[in-house]
Amino acid sequence: MTHGIIPPYLLRRIARLDDAKYAVAAHAARVALEHDKRFRSVRFDLGFDENNDLVATLVDAPDRTISDAAGTMTIPGSPVRREGNDPTGDPAADEAYDGLGATFALYSEVYGRNSIDGAGLPLDATVHYGDLYDNAFWDGERMVFGDGDGEIFTRFTASLSVIGHELAHGVTQYTAGLVYRDQSGALNESISDVFGALVEQYSRGQTVADATWLIGEGIFTAEVEGSALRSLRAPGTAYDDDVLGKDPQPAHFDDYIQTDEDGGGVHLNSGIPNRAFYLVAESLGGNAWEHAGQIWYDAINGPTLTARADFAQFAAATVAAALERYGAQSAEVAAVIDGWTGVGIPPLPPQVAGST
């Protein structure tokens, strides 16, 4: 399954617009909703070892290829920039190249992870996908970026947090493998928001206090009353627009949305664990990618997290991760417990979480 940055409920709202001012946007949203999403298997660069056995080539450095679909829905398109090449002058291609590099840098330099799969997976992206295509997604093999409709959305490469978010779906694919439905699906989305924000913060050297905590800042046109798609600091406040409506994300488990749409509300209810992470990061201060991000990273790589984990189980996994790395009396454990409690999901006490 592919994971698009624009939630289907937002695309449906745009698709229903009958205002001539937004005719292009409405058509683009309908196309995006009908788009045939294909899941592609991951490919590796292969070679042979000294015994003539087939092995994956592992190089702890990015290996990027940016291709141009030239307005078609044909993937991958024509390569326009490879690793080490000079900028092309095409903003979308160069933003994609830089964004893939920034994402690689966070995982490699902070968490010691060699690319998305941990084994040196080449980072490929396709830009200029479709005609005014209103989305960006990870398809299991590569990043794919539309240019937006120009009335509501601009090009999706313009936001580093979008690039980091979508590539984080690839990391989850290779780690926790969280099922994209209901609470496990909302966790899948939330983890992508968390690491999308951390990619942006690490690249810009922003502390918890300096960061915007926004996902998708820069992809709205000036016509939209809103700053981004989502806010980790304050879910439900990212936009409030006559056309798009008000950001519907809840920030507390008391307001959890029961729905059959959007995979059981994966883009909606992700606001709850998003807020929990922000509270943890705020409590610890400094750079969020360090302790708070490390705890979340340890949790998705841990042995106890199941593919269908709910919020409470993930909360327990983060407490266990903090306990394992920092100790029961640490500020980190206390911050994780307080963070989840602050969104209405008090986790297991440290001694219980650490023993699972």
Instruction: Write down the pLDDT at residue 354.
Output: 43
- Residue 200 among the catalytic residues: no
**Torsion angle of the four alpha carbons 206, 146, 97, 199, in this order, in degrees rounded to the nearest 10:** 20
- Residue 151 among the catalytic residues: no
Which of 95, 267, 291, 332 is flagged as catalytic? 267
How far apart are the C-alpha atoms of 214 and 230, rounded to whole Å? 6
pTM equals 0.89
CA dist list (Å): 92 to 76, 224, 250: 15, 21, 32
Length of the chain: 356
Which of 166, 189, 200, 217 is flagged as catalytic? 166
How far apart are the C-alpha atoms of 154 and 319, rounded to whole Å? 39
Q: Identify the CA nearest to 272 among candidates 309, 325, 229, 235.
A: 235
CA dist list (Å): 213 to 93, 138, 157, 229, 247: 25, 21, 18, 11, 15
Beta-carbon count within 10 A of 56 CB: 12
Phi-psi region of 346 (alpha: psi -120 to 50; beta: other; left: phi over 0): beta
Q: Are 67 and 82 in contact (CB under 8 A)?
A: no
Structure confidence by residue, pLDDT tens digits, 117-132: 999 999 999 999 999 9
- Architecture label for domain 3-353: Orthogonal Bundle (1.10)
Instruction: Write down the pLDDT at residue 1.
Output: 53
Residues 6+ apart with CB under 8 A from 313: 305, 306
Structure confidence by residue, pLDDT tens digits, 145-156: 999 999 999 999
Q: Are 44 and 119 in contact (CB under 8 A)?
A: yes
Tens-binned pLDDT, residue by residue, of the chain (356 aa): 566 888 888 898 999 988 888 899 988 889 888 873 443 333 233 333 344 443 444 457 999 999 999 999 999 999 999 999 999 999 999 999 999 999 999 999 999 999 999 999 999 999 999 999 999 999 888 999 999 999 999 999 999 999 999 999 999 999 999 999 999 999 999 999 999 999 999 999 999 999 999 999 999 999 999 999 999 999 999 999 999 999 999 999 999 999 999 999 999 999 999 999 999 999 999 999 999 999 999 999 998 899 999 999 999 999 999 999 999 999 999 999 999 999 999 997 655 444 44
In the numeric block, which tokens belong to residue 226?
């809103």
Task: Please report, for the chain, the start and end positions of each structural domain, with discontinuous segments joined by +.
Answer: 3-353
For every residue of 168-215, DSSP letters joined together read: HHHHHHHTT---SSHHHHHHHHHHHHHHHHHHHHHHHT--TTT---EE
